[in-house]
Amino acid sequence: MTVERETAAIDALRAADIPEERRGRARTRRLSSAQRQFYFWILREFAAARPPTAEGTRGAAVSYGLEPAEVFKVLAREDLVHVDSAGCPIVAYPFSGQPRGHRVLIDGERWVEGMCAIDALGIAPMLGLPVEIYSHDPVSGGEIWVRIDPSEGAWSEPEEVVVLSGSACCEGPSFLGCCDVLNFFETGESADSYLERNPSLSGHAISFSEAIEAGRIVFADVFVGGN
């Protein structure tokens, strides 16, 4: 990792309105031990390709000594997990409970859905497992394939793949502000075209390697300090 790549990745996260308190182990700093373990349970269920149900999630909260409605409010306030009216997690960055166009194959065995391009890229360093990502360029419709192996490196097809980092310039959780913007594009020109077509958005294209670094910064140390 170069200093230039890390600097570009941090700039990209600023463009996406992802502050320092939403990066790495800082994401759970304001949670109690029980809240943190419950949050980890949700992430691990998604990572196992078992998106938690409303009933299962509420039951898990109780098993950790938590009142479901209260812990849901805390996780939403921290912009970590968002549930529907029944208590079913629909957002648990980097995972989505609904199709987002970023299909991720973990360790060649199980399929999950990434919330956005950077989230999808962050799954490999978060779990320490290889992943393959299947997505599309929103402008050209072209297919995009990415493989990340924490021990071997990263590859993409096409090789010129970039990620648009930016936001919709609205306040609130990331899934409302930046997740729809953070997409893969076949080329930088395609990403620029997308911005031109959507003047309400702000942002800029970053290289594949810079996007990988951004995903690492946000998710690599999420489980550090907890079991």
Range of the domain at 66: 25-96
CB 168 within 8 A of CB 181: yes
Residue 225: inside a domain: no
Residue 226: inside a domain: no
Cis omega (within 30 of 0) for bond into 173:
no
For residue 116, give the amino acid letter: C
Same domain membership, residue 102 and residue 12: yes
Q: How many domains does the chain have?
A: 2
Last residue of a domain, one of 80, 96, 112: 96
Residue pLDDT, tens place only, 64-96: 999 999 999 999 999 999 999 999 999 999 999
The residue behind tokens 């924490």 is 150
Same domain membership, residue 173 and residue 129: yes
Residue pLDDT, tens place only, 192-226: 999 999 988 888 999 999 999 999 999 999 997 55
Q: Residue 172 has what pLDDT? A: 66
Residue 149: inside a domain: yes
Last residue of a domain, one of 96, 129, 154: 96
Q: Residue 43 has what pLDDT? A: 98
Residue 126: inside a domain: yes
Residue 127: inside a domain: yes
The domain that holds 192 is classified in CATH as 3.30.450.410
Same domain membership, residue 44 and residue 11: no
Q: What's the token pair of residue 131?
A: 């992943």
Same domain membership, residue 134 and residue 29: no
Residue pLDDT, tens place only, 28-48: 999 999 999 999 999 999 999
- Return all residues near 90 (Cβ < 8 A) that are at least 6 apart: 82, 83, 84, 96, 97, 98
Phi, then psi, of 132 in degrees rounded to 5: -120, 140
- Nearest by Cα to 25 from 190, 216, 212: 216
Q: Residue 1 has what pLDDT? A: 54
Same domain membership, residue 79 and residue 34: yes
Q: Residue 225 has what pLDDT? A: 54
Lowest mean pLDDT among 48-52, 168-172, 188-192: 168-172
Same domain membership, residue 85 and residue 70: yes
Q: Residue 51 has what pLDDT? A: 95
Same domain membership, residue 160 and residue 89: no
Same domain membership, residue 155 and residue 76: no
Q: Residue 227 has what pLDDT? A: 46
Same domain membership, residue 201 and residue 149: yes
H or E element at residue 206? strand 202-207
Model-wide pTM > 0.75: yes
Give me the helices (H) in the chain, please: 3-15, 33-47, 54-63, 68-77, 117-127, 174-177, 188-197, 208-219
CB 81 within 8 A of CB 146: no
Same domain membership, residue 207 and residue 137: yes
Same domain membership, residue 148 and residue 211: yes
Cis omega (within 30 of 0) for bond into 94:
yes
Residue pLDDT, tens place only, 99-146: 999 999 999 999 999 999 999 999 999 999 999 999 999 999 999 999
Last residue of a domain, one of 96, 115, 144: 96
Sheet holding 131-136, edge to edge: 110-113, 103-106, 131-136, 143-149, 153-157
Same domain membership, residue 83 and residue 157: no
Instruction: Please count the helices (runs of H) and the strands (runs of E) in the chain.
Output: 8, 11
